[in-house]
Homo-oligomer: A and B are copies of this chain.
Amino acid sequence: MDISSRKITVKEVGPRDGLQNESVFVPTADKIAWINQLSRTGVSYIEITSFVHPKWIPALSDAVEVAQGIERAPGVTYGALVPNARGLERALLANIDDAAVFMSASETHNQKNINKSIEDTFPILKETAQAALAAQKTVRGYISTVFGCPYEGNVKIDAVIRVAENLLEMGIQEISLGDTIGIAHPRQVQEVLEVLLKRFPAERLAMHFHNTYGMALANTLVSVEMGISTFDSAVGGLGGCPYAPGASGNMATEDLLYMLHGMGMTTGIESTKMLEAARFLQGKMGKKFSSHQMQIGE
């Protein structure tokens, strides 16, 4: 397949998935200034915060202030993580455009993360998704541990299919397949996508790679070759991995752009502006970002 002229949607998840796992609390005003900068890069989607209870994610305890404080740029969809109907209420008050619900493909990770079985999570997400759709919002659904679980190891593809089918039946428009612990390698990505693409159209699927083992870009490459066109990434490679202290975080947006643009694909994003946004936040966080582009010439 000639992929060189493909149009790729990059969803910037740094303000949520990036900051969520960082120990530094970024002041609200800095978050807002940073997100405003991201809005001017040409990116079409920014996940700006999480409406999970602040007790669980103190780094994002200012969700309402951030959502209400940012400037909304035309053409940009502002999403937020939403755990349930109560979280959605707060998110709607803060006027988010897209609600991202989440659950795991592995029972143990779902239990530890959400404190419920997979079966008991479905009705909660259904209620949330339907309320969001009723409020004229779009909904995306994260599936965690698609490629492996920190507790169970291997995750069966049937478990992924079951969760994905349930989410799509709820009216959720896009499924984001998460390599939560960043262990997938390109062959595994290929094998998983071969199965999933027989059941679900490529337009319904996004990939959410973490770079824990350094595989994120190679995994992205095979995903593009298989027809996937939407990828989540975080400026600077923010995020780390709660199960592997010291490890790399999300796929870095600027490294992803280097590869995609170099290969001739288009994203609508200006790389230099994305790098400026990375440098801005790096200065505020006082932490050296791990992305390759950020290390060049520093």
Contacts and interface: CB of A to CB of B under 8 A. Distances in A.
Interface of A: 4, 185-188, 211-215, 217-218, 220-222, 244-248, 252, 255, 258-259, 262-264, 291-293, 295-298
A212 B84 CA distance: 42
A214 B217 contact: yes
A234 to B, nearest CB: 14
A187 B255 contact: no
Contacts of A296: 212-213, 244, 246-247
A185 B262 contact: yes
B245 A298 contact: yes
A166 B220 CA distance: 37
A263 B185 contact: yes
Q: How many copies does the complex hold?
A: 2
Contact of A245 (B244, B259, B292, B297): B297
Contacts of A291: 214
A217 B248 CA distance: 16
Contacts of A218: 217-218, 220-221, 259
11 contacts: A185-B263, A186-B221, A186-B263, A188-B262, A213-B292, A214-B255, A214-B259, A221-B222, A247-B292, A247-B295, A248-B292
A247 to B, nearest CB: 5
B214 A264 contact: no
A52 to B, nearest CB: 26
A266 to B, nearest CB: 13
Nearest to A224: B186
Given A4-B187, A214-B258, A247-B296, 10 more contacts: A185-B258, A185-B263, A187-B262, A188-B262, A211-B292, A213-B292, A218-B259, A246-B295, A246-B298, A248-B295
A193 B214 CA distance: 24
Contact of A244 (B222, B244, B246, B297): B297
B258 A292 contact: no
Contacts of A220: 218
A297 to B, nearest CB: 6
A222 B293 CA distance: 21
Nearest to A261: B185
A293 B246 CA distance: 10
Contact of A214 (B186, B245, B247, B293): B293
A287 to B, nearest CB: 14
A286 B222 CA distance: 37
A251 B188 CA distance: 22
A225 B298 CA distance: 34
A241 B246 CA distance: 24
A185 B297 CA distance: 19
